[in-house]
Amino acid sequence: MTKVALVTGAGSGIGRAAALALHKAGYAVALAGRRAEALAETAALAEGGAERLLEVSANVAEAAQVEALFAAVRERFGRLDVLFNNAGTGAPPVPLEDLSVEAWKRVVDVNLTGAFLCTQAAFRIMKDQDPRGGRIINNGSISAHSPRPRSVAYTATKHAITGLTKSTSLDGRAYDIACGQIDIGNAATPMTKAMAAGVPQADGRMVPEPVMDVAAVADAVVFMAGLPLEANVQFMTVMATKMPFIGRG
């Protein structure tokens, strides 16, 4: 039986790399994201197996669109074995007291509410399918542990993802649903290009930071996804070896 994975934020970066790695590993993969053209670019990079790909434009912050996304996956593939809650966004790096409520809410809606809505929808499929169960992997980020300057909205939501992961892991036991979290630091994607020029540090300096190949993250997601349901990676940190995390600040 071909296993089915759904990746949110699959149009670029970590989501694209993970989706392609899962597809290469033999999964049928649903690519979800807001931009249809970006999803099509991801699909075009897959090495054959087009019948195992599904592209669905969806904003995970919108409950109706999440419902339609998971209905499309169920209709096309009949089940769902892995959900990678990867979609995320950030706010402008302004002083905490200057961050607008609208910017705060946008980050919360995508990063936290979106992951919750997708988790709910995955539960509804996974608990009722045969064989029962599945796995949910949440993208927590290094910011689930330690903040960068001027990142209050992003950091708060990523800390909250850890709570979502723990509650999902506990509540999923009754249905053979495992949940783990991958915390990623400085994977080389379009979002991290600025790190070569320097990023703000806790002491106010701008310092270039090392990055790692995003393939390392994709391989880690495939490993987590491929475990039997009686085993789980509860938390995994994958980071550029020399980035300032241990000792940050």
The string of pLDDT tens digits covering residues 68-87 is 999 999 999 999 999 999 99
Task: Tell me the Ramachandran region of residue 9: left when phi exceeds 0, alpha when psi lies from -120 to 50, beta otherwise.
Answer: left
Listing DSSP states for the chain in one string gives ---EEEEETTTSHHHHHHHHHHHHTT-EEEEEES-HHHHHHHHHTS-S-GGGEEEEE--TTSHHHHHHHHHHHHHHHS---EEEE----------GGG--HHHHHHHIIIIIIHHHHHHHHHHHHHTTSSS--EEEEEE--GGGTSPPTT-HHHHHHHHHHHHHHHHHHHHHGGGTEEEEEEEEE-EESGGGGGGGT-EE-TTS-EE----EEHHHHHHHHHHHHHS-TT----EEEEE-TTSS-TT--
pLDDT band at 164 (very low <50, low <70, confident <90, very high): very high
What confidence tier does 200 reach under pLDDT thresholds 50, 70, 90? confident
Catalytic residues: 154
Q: Is the dihedral of CA 56, 88, 185, 84 positive or negative?
A: negative
Q: How confident is the model at residue 111, as a pLDDT?
A: 98
Residue 191 has pLDDT above 80, yes or no: no
CA–CA distance, 6 with 90 (Å, rounded to integer):
22
Radius of gyration of the chain (CA): 17
Report residue 153 as tokens: 């909205």
Residue 244 pLDDT class (50, 70, 90 cuts): confident
The average pLDDT across 170-182 equals 98
Which two structure tokens, joined as six digits, stand for 35?
A: 């931009």
21 vs 29: CA distance, rounded Å: 10
Residue 157 CA to its chain's centroid (Å) = 13
Domains and CATH numbers, the chain: 4-239 (3.40.50.720)
User: Is the separation of the CB atoms in 138 and 179 below 8 Å?
Assistant: yes
CA 153 to chain centre: 17
How much is the pLDDT for 122?
98
Residue range 81-97: mean pLDDT, rounded: 97
User: How confident is the model over 152-180, as a mean pLDDT?
Assistant: 98
Average pLDDT over the chain reads 95
Q: Are 155 and 108 in contact (CB under 8 A)?
A: no
pLDDT at 248 over 60: no
pLDDT band at 201 (very low <50, low <70, confident <90, very high): confident
C-alpha distance from residue 58 to each of 74, 91, 97, 107, 212 (Å)? 15, 20, 32, 16, 29
Contact 231, 201 (CB under 8 A): no
